Amino acid sequence: MSTTPVNRPSTDAESIREKITESAGGAPAFRTDTTPEHEHFLVRLPSNALDRLSGIAANIGMTVLRIVLALVYLWFGVLKVIGHSDVFGLVQATVPWFDAHWFVPTLGVIEILLGIGLFLGRARRLVLIGVMGHLIGTFLTFIDAPSWMMHNGNLLLLNMNGEFVLKNMVLITGAFVLLGATKSKVPWLGLRLPFNRQPSVGEAPIPRAGA
């Protein structure tokens, strides 16, 4: 004689207990830690080569940027002075009221002086302002010699000369960043002016005037 199990109806208490258990199993546990998950992940990351590289860049990045910008100015300036620069025709088309045979070498001398100023770091604020002024002046080519800069007068279709001048926006930005990181000091007066400049990473807070 076989016995068939009898399905005993569950009581109300057992039903409530099962629902509570299912809800607890499907819902995430209540978190008392409000720290975002990505921050927990970052804390668990070990120090690696990228961290060290970021530290090196933070320490010497500004100096490297200044030296590289100085090298570019010295190199381009020397090419103009010795007559081996390919921008002769472009300069002549941009400033036709000047004779390029003397204007290009003169421009080269100015670039060499700016490069030396960048390299030595003397009167840095004035040198950087001069660099930005010089680079901004190169965009005069888009006004005075547009046929040298783009195809069919379309500003979106730059040729090689147009690309060459457009990249000066990066150099202008680099000089601007260096200017912002330069301490507010007038070398020939020995005065530190009370500009409200935020200190760089690792730099001591700048005291306010009269403090």
Mean pLDDT of 134-139: 94
Of 129 and 56, more confident:
129
The residue type at 206: I
**DSSP secondary structure code for residue 202 in this structure:** T
Q: State the greatest distance between any 2 C-alpha atoms of the chain, in Å, as a whole number.
A: 121
Chain centroid, CA 6 distance in Å = 77
Write the secondary structure of 10-21 as one string of H (helix), E (strand) and C (coil): CCHHHHHHHHHH
Q: Kindly tell me if the per-residue pLDDT of 211 is higher than 50.
A: no
What is the spatial distance between Cα 200 and Cα 206, in angstroms, rounded to a whole number? 10
Report the chain's mean pLDDT, rounded to a whole number: 78
**56 in a structural domain:** no
- Could you give the number of structural domains in the chain? 1
d(CA 183, CA 198): 10
Q: Is the pLDDT of residue 134 over 70?
A: yes
Is residue 148 pLDDT above 60, yes or no?
Answer: yes
Classify residue 172: in a domain, yes or no.
Answer: yes
What average pLDDT does the segment 192-211 reach?
52
Residue pointed to by tokens 């990045």: 61
Q: Is residue 88 part of a domain?
A: yes
Q: What angle do CA 3, 4, 8 make, to 5 degrees?
A: 130
DSSP three-state, residue 30: coil
pLDDT band at 2 (very low <50, low <70, confident <90, very high): low
Is the residue at 72 inside a domain?
Answer: yes
Which residues span the domain enclosing 125?
62-183
User: Is pLDDT of 190 > 70?
Assistant: no
94-112 pLDDT per residue, tens? 999 999 999 999 999 999 9
Residue 142 resides in a domain: yes
Burial class (CB in 10 A: 0-12, 13-18, 19+), 78: middle
Tell me what the mean pLDDT of segment 107-129 comes to. 93
Residue 192 lies in a domain: no
Please indicate whether residue 136 or residue 21 has the higher confidence score (pLDDT).
136
Residue 170 or residue 20, greater confidence: 170
- Look at residue 210 and tell me whether its pLDDT is greater than 50: no
Q: Which helix or strand (DSSP H or E) is residue 185 part of? A: strand 185-186
Residue 169 lies in a domain: yes
Question: Does the structure show a pLDDT above 70 at 195?
Answer: no
Q: Judge whether residue 37 has pLDDT over 90.
A: no
For the chain, percent of residues with pLDDT exceeding 90 = 52
Assigned domain for 162 exists: yes
Percentage of the chain exceeding pLDDT 70: 64
Check residues 151 and 30 and name the one with the higher pLDDT. 151
More confidently predicted of 177 and 16 = 177
Asked if the model's pLDDT at residue 4 lies above 80, the reply is: no
Higher pLDDT, 17 or 76: 76
User: 124-137 and 168-181 helices cross at what angle (nearest 10)?
Assistant: 160
